Chains A and B, each alone.
Chain A
């Protein structure tokens, strides 16, 4: 595209963001502020993720963009086009083939491998924001590893509902030190964060924070000894490919309440259906 620098951002901005990313990688789970730029789309549409992707993407990268697991939603398509035009990189819908994946609120079912980078779009990077409204106080808590209040919230859930009721954005403890919001991924995806061979980067555009999980980082979901973390999933098989171990979307098919459950990860589902993976696996 004429008139734009590679991947839209100028080189100085990319350098600043990379510095923030390096710092974030050096302190897993710790939120690093960065000087977010005005992007050609509003806050709440993935500006944080886009800025991180723009800063790390190179000419030889193969980019995949998903939105709640799907490659074909409007937003996923838009962002993929954006990078195709401003960076001229190859794009793909295959998790296997991608070197760089930007995602909104899901982790792909296909396990990531060493050398891949996954960039999460994060609306609210501060896991304590509901419990500690003061930003300054929240920062102190992180500094002092003062996270008792988060456990109080889980205690309350168990008291009220008999179990921890956090369906998505279940807070995690990173490297036994920092409390982190994994972004609004379903609790089902939390175990994928732990000891992943890939580099996991998190960008919050509105809040202007970046944090990271270097490969093979210890990431544990908060729980109680007698109420251990349970990655929840609808007890059905995918109506399209028959998978029983992937995260499912619930779709209403008529106005009488009939519903179907299908894999949220479109690439995974398609791959299974085209026979490239043995059926029943996953």
Chain B
């Protein structure tokens, strides 16, 4: 399959803060990027440069003011920026995976069910889904005794690992990762690097934000630097 799996062009994104008298913040201006299968693009730049904003825009979570975001979904190129809500949901169901910076989950649901959810949504048998979830959690050093607990009481690092597991439990053609190794110790970081490596080998196109230099070197094929725009008055 030729051509990038993800191609954004002319992205512009700003925020109008009505509660601050209509203050306008421009974050992205005329941004282009493209990622192909098996390729990992790292976003770099200082805080406030718009890295998370870009990632959220690529997921359809932030709505861009201008520009196009082409996603290869089931053999067709869909412009996520102009897609209907059902289409975006469909893309997110099987094509576009996103690990946000913080775990925001449904309360009171056990960790293992949170992780198994995506596998179930793709039609796996409940028992098989839970087995895959358990295996992945253990691989990420979350011991079995924690699997039945809701992650609200977990430490930051444990929550981050649950965050990763719920996406990596399935294959995604395109992956968006926001600081996947934040709060993790070096052993866990290596596991995450391995997971990302396996995803690349399986043909996923990956965009990630990584502050950890060695990790970046290990997984990134290209780097896209972002710089903060000057805020409009």
Q: Do A and B have CB atoms closer than 8 angstroms in the complex? A: no
Q: Which residues of B contact A (CB under 8 A)?
A: none
